[in-house]
Structure 1
Amino acid sequence: MIYLDFYGDDTQGSVILQPTIWYHMVYIYDYPTRTQFVYINGKLDKSNSNKGSYKGDSEVLTVSYTSANNLLDNGPLGINGAGTNFQFTAFGRIDQGLDLLVDPSYVQVTGLVYLDTKDYPYSVAVWIRPTMITNGTIIHVSSDTNDTSWSMSMLGFTSAGNVGVQDCTTSNAVSITEPVVATGMWTHLTVAYAQSNQLRLWINETVYGTSSTIFTSSTADAPVTVTLADRWYDKNF
């Protein structure tokens, strides 16, 4: 079972997990309500309220590229990144960040299997501090690194500067268009899909949009590449 541990102030899930099966797990602690949540494959497994605050060394738990000045995956999967014309900066939202300021500039990770699995739940989160908000992609998903076949602009900006989110069915795109975000300020964006909740967008931990239609997410049926891009990369919103 999934387990969220605050050292004796815990939440244990109810779903029995099976070996050799991949699961998408999310742990959430809501400070205002003092509630712990544990999700499996996009569905709430268990929640507990009146829990004490997290008192660890950091308020952010990550599995990411945290080594200084490289894109080596510190997690167990070894999914290293690569990119073009990007720069590391000491002024990220938390510790280091990436500057994508010239055309072209982007960072990619490849060989992601479950993001290409039909109707499989996912969530993607990113901190941004944009210098421009007219057109362009923040997160792009494609079947290869050169974007020559199947592709989708998952998260980006419209021509009016609104945040846009997309997913695909077998025949068309499902989109959400939400507010304009400020330039020069940090904003936290989260995109999530699950069949029970459909496509959703969070801005600074507040749900801003949910797709109005029920749909089945359909992808490339092959391991995909995710590109964190500057504004040149795609303009399909």
Structure 2
Amino acid sequence: FQVSTFLNLASTSFTIEAWIYSTVVTGDNGIMGQCDCTSCENKCFFFLIRSSKLYVGFTLNDINGLTTLTVNTWYHIAFVYDSVTKKQVLYLNGVQDNVKSSASAYQGANGTFTVGSATFSTSTKFFNGYIDNVKISTQAKSATEVLYAASLIAYYSFDLPTATNDNGPNGLNGTAVNTAAVTGRVNEAMGFTGSSSYFQAYGFYQAGFGVNYNKPFSISMWISVSTYTSCAIVQMSTTYNGGSCFNMLGIFAYTGNAGQWVAQGYAWPAIFGSPITLNTWTHISWTFSLTDGYRLYINGVYYATTGYYSYGGTSGAITWIQIGYNFACNSAYISNAGFQGIIDEIYVHNREITAAEVSALANP
């Protein structure tokens, strides 16, 4: 793929980000590049996978990654050049992979910017696989900004005028059926009235029931419950109309006039949370990693964990998320019934967020 015009990145700070899925990591594989002069110092930009590691440079001014990549795996990659500090920084999945100081600026004044190939050592190197969501900006993004782009799958603020839009980096916009815009915990929120009322979005590669098993994730949101009814609040599915699906977060009502939070993972490890107070905002975070297992946080405070837990189940598909209930799924401890109440500020991450990050989300 060729950008129609020359991208002027000379003598300035810039950040280049992308998602890549490579079927070949040996040898030299060109992810993107722009070359003015193949043999001139600082005039030929290239971004490669070289011998199973990331490799970026301007020619005779290069930085190599330290992490070995594997085939058939999605990675978020980012390269930052800071013209003030004279640093090149390479990131993999939002984590610094290497840094180089005293690096001169890129000086290319011509050339076509390409995606899927790069000129390196006088020849063109091509990429085998998929490249997605390429972003180029003329600023040196911070480590926090890079981590945000790499690990936030989606963020739904439910704010007007585009309440169903994803406000995160990936644009996973959703649709809503029989919901209402209401006053939220932060600005507006989405109101749900029962079984025919739900929000749905697609594109969740790693969120509890995605392509690969035992991958970390976190789901966080504000919830205000209007009635004590056993129901599903969050579920994942392989198709827009159900397919293979399971309920992840819900309410367990045990007397008809009381209830508590319940969160469950694949193959049904579950945590029953604290009693629910009606019409009161509660912040819930549900996280997973292979080391820590499932963890439940309530109002920014750690509540309980399953401890180490490994599950062998995976949908093998990029999944849909339903909020408020939509399908009759494998349920175990969470009933297939519609949620009644209000939901706001949904964050879905592809990593186990920290206790400090949970606290920050619970104290906007």
Q: Give the shorter-chain TM-score range.
A: 0.5 to 0.7
1:93-152 deviations in Å (ceiling 9; x for gaps): 0001000024310001112112213111000001001102321011111111222x3211
1:96 to 179, 188, 192: 188
* Aligned counterpart, 2:260: 162
Report the TM-score, using the length of structure 2 for normalisation: 0.45
- 1:124–1:191 Cα contact (<8 Å) kept: yes
Q: 2: CA distance between counterparts of 1:207 and 1:97?
A: 25
1:96-135 matched pairs, under 5 angstroms: 96-115=188-207, 116=210, 117-135=212-230
- Find out whether 1:196 has 2:288 as its counterpart: no
User: Which of these two proteins has the greater Rg computed from alpha carbons?
Assistant: 2
- 2:179–2:198 Cα contact (<8 Å) kept: yes
Q: 2: CA distance between counterparts of 1:18 and 1:63?
A: 30
Aligned residue type for 2:316 = D
Change (3 A) 1:217 1:68: farther
Deviation of 1:67 after TM superposition, in Å, equals 4.5
- 1:167–1:217 Cα contact (<8 Å) kept: no
Aligned residue type for 1:92 = G
Q: 1: CA distance between counterparts of 2:227 and 2:193?
A: 10
Identity of matched residues, %:
22
Q: 2: CA distance between counterparts of 1:78 and 1:205?
A: 27
Aligned residue type for 2:264 = Q
Change (3 A) 1:21 1:82: same
1:174-218 deviations in Å (ceiling 9; x for gaps): 111122111110000000000111001000011111014532363
Gaps of 5+ in 2: 1-64, 78-91, 94-151, 334-364
Change (3 A) 1:136 1:102: closer
Deviation of 1:166 after TM superposition, in Å, equals 0.8
Q: 1: CA distance between counterparts of 2:325 and 2:311?
A: 29
Aligned residue type for 2:260 = N
1:13-69 deviations in Å (ceiling 9; x for gaps): xx978997239xxxxxxxxxxxxxxxx98xxxxxxxxxxxxxxxxxxx994344424
SS in 1 for 2:253: coil
- 1:111–1:223 Cα contact (<8 Å) kept: yes
- 1:71–1:80 Cα contact (<8 Å) kept: yes
Count residues with an aligned counterpart: 184
1:70 to 154, 163, 174: 163
* Aligned counterpart, 1:223: 318
Gaps of 5+ in 1: 1-14, 24-39, 42-60
Structure (1/2) with the larger strand percentage: 2
Q: 2: CA distance between counterparts of 1:124 and 1:189?
A: 8
2:244 to 131, 144, 150: 150
Aligned residue type for 2:202 = T
Change (3 A) 1:94 1:16: farther
